[in-house]
A and B are shown apart, each in its own frame.
Chain A
Amino acid sequence: MVIRIKRFNLEGIFPALVTPFKNEGEIDEEALRYLVNFMIEWEVNGVVPVGTTGEFVYMSKEERKRALETVIDEVNGRVPVIAGTGASSTIETIELCRHAKDVGADATLVVTPYYLRPADKGAYQHFYEVTKAADIPIVLYNIPQCTGGFLSREVVEDLARIDNITGLKDSSGHLPYMLELLSFVGDKITIVCGHDEVVLPALAAGAKGAILASANVIPDIWVKLYKAVQKGDVDSARKIQMSAQKLARIFCRHGGAVAVKAALKMMSVNVGKVRRPLVSGGVLAWEVKEEIRMELEKLGKITAKQIKVKTELPKRLEDRFQDLGITAKDIEQSKLLVSEASVGEGREKLHVFLLAGPKQSAVGYVWARALANPEPGHEALTAILEPNLSAKPITLIVPAIKIESLRQASIVYGPVQSAVGKAVSDTVEENVISKEVLENYAIIVKVVVNPEALNRQILFTNTYDAVKFALSNAFRVWRG
């Protein structure tokens, strides 16, 4: 058989466009047009409307057609449009592919049938009949995370012999599969990567481009990476991939369209909400959503909110527990233990000041009171190493800097909380805290955590070191 040159060239970076919805739920045509232009300005090589990221599975046939028509109209020939036309049934897929051809799409992206999953024979026949019925280039689409199974390499081998089948998008992220395809059909169809976390290795291995959810948000970064690989500059490409890795991971694993829409909103590109059952706070937990903002700031996509960290602490350590109700006089009269420590620098710098005393002393009372009267933004919680493993002597953590977001909360009540718990436990093990003190004392640790703190491992270490230092100072002095 003569291998003919395929008609359509799928190379470069293509955003898998989200579908903007209005509050009432219908497609927001204006926002879609805006998004298209926003993408083209970043020099993407084409756009892919109504794909997985475009929530095609929640859209009626009419909506899908209309979204496609809008995109083609707005693109107006500037870049290729690859229309997402996949559906579970062959009949519907054919209808959508024919429509795509009629309205002038350059190619179609056709997902493997899902839900009622065909075996190899049915998968082959599905694509075969689509190519017979619609005269438009077809890009096969493997995304087992959603469809429940891989499009087998053997089927792809057979499909690659069909004229109209010009490419395959592999979103599995499974590199052995992609390399298998490259070795069997790499010379017949164009393989592109659909998994944001492995763009560089895929391109390096021979994929010709990438269709990505995150390319809605950081198209420029992916275009830069693509060009670097083309020039053979792997060092730069690695750096670029790493700079986007966390964002890529969040998009791939924490909610696709939900996360992309949240990110676009942060960048003032309003594309509305996802359709139910997807909601914000589901697969994209609120704690994680805030991480997107931090990443966008790092990548210069949005300007960082200037958060003023108020650290107007009283000069004397003994005066720093007044808000909890313990004065310097109390400390002196009841011989309470106080100490402080500061470890690290920059965002992850950590400052603690510590108060300890018998449960029967004022410390016990303010300990109970702080836990019973959470101050919004400064909610006190017990020191635990992990849930269901609390430290001893009983230790309360009081955030000195106001907590404004769930992400910030998850940092204080995550690495900081567990580091305090671990530091207390290790200090006990080293016999700095005597066994008698273990059940009879209460400790309060005020922590000054920068709201911009990012690196949780460094933060954990700094907190651990600071608390350990403060504890050994407090208890050694007392014992001496």
Chain B
Amino acid sequence: MEKKFWLKGVIPALVTPFERNFEVDEESLRRLVDFVIEKGVTGVVPCGTTGEFVNMTVEERMKVIEVTIDEVNGRVPVIAGTGDARTTNAIEFTKHAEDAGATAALVVSPFYFKPTDKEIYEHYDKIAEAADLPIILYNIPQVTGVEIPWWVVEGLSEIDNIVGIKDSSGNMPYMMALFEKVYGKISIICGHDEIAVAALAAGADGLILASANLIPDLWLRLYDLVEKHDLEEARSLQRKVQTLARIITRHGGGLAVKAGLRMMELDVGTARKPLMTGGVFRYEDEELLRLSLEWLGKLSSKTLQLEIKPNLVTKSMFAGATPQTPMKIRDFSLKVGEAFASPSTAEVAHVDLLIGLRNGPVGRTFRETLANPRTGHDPQLVRLGSKTVKPDTLLVPTVTIRTERQAEFVYVHAMSGVAKAVVDSVEDGLLPKDALEELVMIANVFVHPTASNPKRVMINNFKAMVWAIRRALEARPTSEELMERKESARHPFRYEP
């Protein structure tokens, strides 16, 4: 039996842009659609999980689908997200999508009340019966709480207008069962960004991904590489995007994608409440996402003007700039940046950083501290190998050093992360090359006395130091951010064990 539609390629699960008042932002939606189509995507999915369908009204969902279809204007297939907890509603959405001219419907399995396999089967059966539109099943147990059993998929694949399944579980044994039972019968699509290469290599027909909003070009390349059976290159590319993929799948989905798009100057607003930055998408994920995008070359370079002193103004190309980065940075008397990086309780890094002029308060402290080291908190010049880094940077342990092991973790492992961060920040262009001698830095570095994993201590300190330098120079958090974030702040040690 030939299916009337066969989904393949790389398809972004579009975010739904919102204005600042959280109304649907039609204009940004159109811009986003054009952006991904210009990158070559083979279809788009409005109103999926990434599109926050569950937090939208009926009218909004319908409108977003209509706008997307209008903007796409036949250039690529539009697969409309039409799922709902209730069968009648899902039918209504699917029929609307059909009338609006969608190519197919992506229908998530019913959620909240966890249905049995019989109920799941009949849910899809009724929808397929009521609408003519090709239907793609959608398995995402992380949010629905229920996996569509493979034998239900097998049964449903017999129905004429059920043409595919998107599996976002990331559960490879499950996907292999799909290949065993329905390969070639319906299109099998991977919806989990972290295992894209594995899924394609195993036979998946395509990808519907949240991160394809951000890096559609890279996923298209990966897709082509697998098509050409160049697995070596495909694997290498997957490894490159893995950090980004992990942040998106595990730390915030659509919210994280939106944060990324904003960093790339494609402002789509933020996610609707209760989703918020600082929650599942932790503040450190936001910073790491920025670094990942920068490493993938997705952030634009900006020329910063740094007024080091009234008579010393330097220009610097900063490769990690976001719309938040101030174009002009002034007053280098005392700049402060704080940053925290995890994982693992014992290996967390927490940096309090001072940046300032050699002849300012930070410089004076720098010289005095080095001349009169405090026992247990010995300051050390930060070195990479045998060379001290520039600007001159002093590492000071937060916790009093009492054992040799502690000393090793601070002065060797944390130090190497801090050193690498300084070097990278100079290469990035944030620390201006022509003013390195004018500035000094002091990093107060927290390493937990129970740390055991040297590599993680090094990496966490690298991240925390890069972020602390950025926060100090970009004056972050900004007062707007603070006002927005202060009520929901939750200090981890504020609560009794």
Contacts and interface: CB of A to CB of B under 8 A. Distances in A.
B151 interface: no
Given A364-B334, A374-B396, A425-B482, A388 B339 contact: yes
Interface in B104-158: none
B385 interface: no
Nearest to B444: A371
A426 interface: yes
Contacts of A414: 491-495
A473 interface: no
Interface in B329-356: 331, 333-334, 336-340, 345-346, 350, 352, 354, 356
Contact of B338 (A254, A282, A390, A418): A390
Contacts of B282: 388
From B379, B400, B489, name the one whose CB has the most chain A CB atoms within 10 angstroms: B489
Interface stretch (B87-95, B208-216, B233-241, B364-372): B364-372
B323 interface: no
A413 B477 contact: no
B482 A391 contact: yes
A371 B486 contact: no
Contacts of A281: 346, 449-450
A374 B399 CA distance: 8
A388 B340 contact: yes
A351 interface: no
A386 B490 contact: yes
A438 B361 contact: no
Interface stretch (A48-56, A80-88, A154-162, A285-293): A285-293
A77 B442 CA distance: 67
A394 B338 CA distance: 10
Contacts of B374: 373-376
A384 B374 CA distance: 25
A382 B398 CA distance: 11
Interface string A412-430: 0111011001100110110
Interface centre among B284, B352, B379, B483 (most CB of A within 10 A): B352
A385 interface: yes
Nearest to A253: B497
Given A374-B398, A388-B467, 8 more contacts: A282-B450, A376-B376, A379-B398, A386-B490, A386-B492, A388-B283, A390-B337, A392-B477
Interface string A395-423: 00000000000100011011101100110
A439 interface: yes
B177 to A, nearest CB: 20
A49 B365 CA distance: 59
A346 interface: no
Nearest to A362: B361
A321 B489 CA distance: 30
A224 interface: no
A250 B497 CA distance: 7
Contact of A374 (B334, B336, B400, B482): B400
Nearest to A383: B338
Contact of B377 (A373, A391, A418, A428): A373
B486 to A, nearest CB: 4
Nearest to A387: B340
17 contacts: A254-B497, A291-B496, A359-B333, A369-B365, A371-B352, A373-B372, A376-B376, A376-B377, A381-B444, A385-B489, A385-B491, A386-B489, A388-B284, A389-B485, A390-B336, A417-B493, A442-B334
B165 interface: no
B278 interface: yes
Contacts of A406: 449
Contact of A369 (B287, B368, B449, B486): B368
Interface string A353-368: 0000001100011011
Contacts of A374: 374, 377, 396-398, 400, 444
Contacts of B489: 385-386, 389, 418, 421-422
B486 A456 contact: no
Contacts of A390: 336-338, 471, 477
A17 B42 CA distance: 65
B218 interface: no
B364 A365 contact: yes
A428 B479 contact: yes
Contact of A456 (B339, B350, B398, B496): B496
Contacts of B398: 374, 379, 381
A359 B361 CA distance: 8
Interface of A: 246, 249-250, 254, 281-282, 285-288, 291, 359-360, 364-365, 367-369, 371-377, 379, 381-382, 384-392, 394, 406, 410-411, 413-415, 417-418, 421-422, 425-426, 428-429, 435, 438-440, 442, 456, 460
Interface of B: 278, 282-284, 287, 331, 333-334, 336-340, 345-346, 350, 352, 354, 356, 361-362, 364-366, 368-369, 372, 374-377, 379, 394, 396-400, 442, 444, 449-450, 467, 471, 475, 477, 479, 482-483, 485-486, 489-497
B392 to A, nearest CB: 13
Given A359-B361, A388-B340, A373 B479 contact: no
A20 B352 CA distance: 43
Contact of A385 (B331, B337, B366, B486): B486
Contacts of B471: 390
Given A365-B365, A368-B356, A422-B486, A456 B494 contact: yes
A372 B361 contact: no
Given A246-B496, A291-B496, A392 B482 contact: yes
A368 B482 contact: no
A390 B398 CA distance: 17
Contacts of A410: 493
A381 to B, nearest CB: 6
Nearest to B369: A372
A415 B491 contact: yes
Q: Lowest 6 CB-CB distances: which A-B pairs, in order?
A: A414-B493, A387-B340, A418-B491, A385-B489, A388-B283, A281-B450
Nearest to A459: B494
Contacts of B493: 287, 410-411, 413-415, 417
Contact of A415 (B396, B444, B450, B494): B494
A7 B186 CA distance: 63
Contacts of A254: 497
Given A285-B345, A374-B400, A359 B492 contact: no
Nearest to A403: B400
Contacts of A373: 365, 369, 372, 374, 377, 396
Contact of A435 (B283, B479, B486, B490): B479
A376 B397 CA distance: 11
Contacts of B377: 373-374, 376, 379
Contact of B479 (A388, A394, A438, A456): A438
Contacts of B475: 439
A422 B487 CA distance: 8
Given A249-B497, A372-B354, A389-B482, A367 B340 contact: no
B393 to A, nearest CB: 12
Given A414-B492, A438-B479, A384 B497 contact: no
B338 A388 contact: yes
Contacts of A368: 334, 354, 356, 361-362, 364-365, 442
Nearest to A370: B365
Given A365-B361, A456-B495, A372 B477 contact: no
A222 to B, nearest CB: 21
A465 B192 CA distance: 48
Contacts of A287: 493, 497
A291 B479 contact: no
Contacts of B400: 374, 376-377, 379
B338 A382 contact: yes
A51 B376 CA distance: 43
Given A291-B497, A376-B377, A438-B479, A426 B354 contact: no
B334 A359 contact: yes
A437 to B, nearest CB: 11
